[in-house]
Amino acid sequence: MRKKYLLAPGPVQAPPEVLAELAKPLIHHRTEQFENIFFQTQSLLKELFMTKLPVITFAASGTGAMEAAVVNFHSEADEVLVIRGGKFGERWGNISEAYKLKVHYIDIKWGSGIKPEEIEKYLNINKNIKSVMIQYVETSTAAMYDIENIAKVVTKTNTLLIVDAISALGVVPLPADDWKIDVIVGGSQKSLMLPPGLSFLWCSQKALSVSEKSNLPKFYFNIKKELKALEKKTTAWTPAISLIGALNTSLTMMKSYGWENLFKKNKKLMTAIHNGLKALNIELFSSSPAVSVTAGAVPQNVDGVKLVKDMKDIHAVTIAGGQDELKGKIFRVGTLGYVDSSDIIVFFAALEACLKSQNYKFNLGAGLSAAEKVLYSEENNA
């Protein structure tokens, strides 16, 4: 028997309370019992999104909500601007091109951020852009973008700001109303500590007005139908009943812990990872590092693919490797959801053992010690 540790940037570990909820007998979704659960969950989702407006829940992965964001707020041949700095930036473009939108790209170096002024300059030159599509966290590169200040730029225009916050919601603050973002999408398998299968879409009144004129084809991902169903405390189509019950449990746990405490804990775990890697002379890949996921640059003479495989096969610690051009060049570890200090200790113990097996030169215990100094210092307790 071996205990397994899931420290990928999604999907993540699920708490026992959430797993217990998933194991309960099914109830019918067109009943008062389900409606009450769904109504409670809707209130908690509003707290998570820091909004007074409704949050739509789809029985789909995060990509489903991304597609919903494309088809509900655009019309044929609309021009959109995609910030492309990783695999999920590429996905915005792929979905938009599938619906025959005219896609403009700002390509940025993978792992870097983008300055709000770059977007402002592009919008000033290209007046026909209907929306800017961007990630809050580009999970494939562990980069985080300055959404607060990007929103200030886009708000000055008629352009919509559409944000993939799948790896950011519940990890860092995202005040949808205050920042005047137009569309936000999220997913269940990250900070919400659930299996994949739910995605979320929130939109502003400005975006809702734009959706009235949208003529792209839509059926399942039709937000008009979902918003109408929300008024009756339900969903337009058959919901993922067990997942929504588990979502109610996870959000209740998060609220009980305290939203601010949660943000502090996530930042503490990130700092511990960063300091531990630095002590091992492993550089961060991203110059604009995310809180939810850290990417370490694989050192010279270390086989990055073998490193990730050995972490899982020998030490039962699952992390993620790099994708496409980054395969074998980086490794990624998640610090979100049901992850705590003890998981970080296990991660560094396994990482150092794997590095040692590949004859990488470092002081044994250096990474572990540096991480512990952050995890157990009084000012970082949360």
Instruction: Kindly report, residue by residue over 329-357, the tens digit of the pLDDT.
Output: 999 999 999 999 999 999 999 999 999 99
Q: Which fold has domain 16-256?
A: Aspartate Aminotransferase; domain 2 (3.40.640)
For residue range 130-142, list pLDDT tens digits in order: 999 999 999 999 9
For residue range 141-164, list pLDDT tens digits in order: 999 999 999 999 999 999 999 999
* pLDDT of 381 above 70: no
- CATH number for the region 5-10+259-380 comes to 3.90.1150.10
* pLDDT of 223 above 60: yes
CB 336 within 8 A of CB 189: no
CA nearest 7: which of 382, 271, 274, 316?
Answer: 316
Strands (E), 126-257: 129-135, 137-138, 143-144, 160-164, 183-187, 199-203
Please report the sign of the dihedral spanned by the C-alpha atoms of residue 345, residue 346, residue 350, residue 353: positive
Q: What percent of the chain has pLDDT over 90?
A: 98
Residues carrying CATH 3.90.1150.10, the chain: 5-10+259-380
The C-alpha atoms of residue 53 and residue 339 are separated, in whole angstroms, by 30
Q: Stretch 54-59: mean pLDDT, rounded? A: 98
3-state secondary structure of 49: helix
* pLDDT of 382 above 60: no
| CB contact burial 8-37 (16+ within 10 A = b; e otherwise) | bbbbbbbbeebeebeeeeeeebeeeebeeb
Residues carrying CATH 3.40.640.10, the chain: 16-256
- Retrieve residue 183's tokens: 């569309």
pTM given for the model: 0.97
For residue range 249-273, list pLDDT tens digits in order: 999 999 999 999 999 999 999 999 9
* pLDDT of 205 above 80: yes
For residue range 6-20, list pLDDT tens digits in order: 999 999 999 999 999
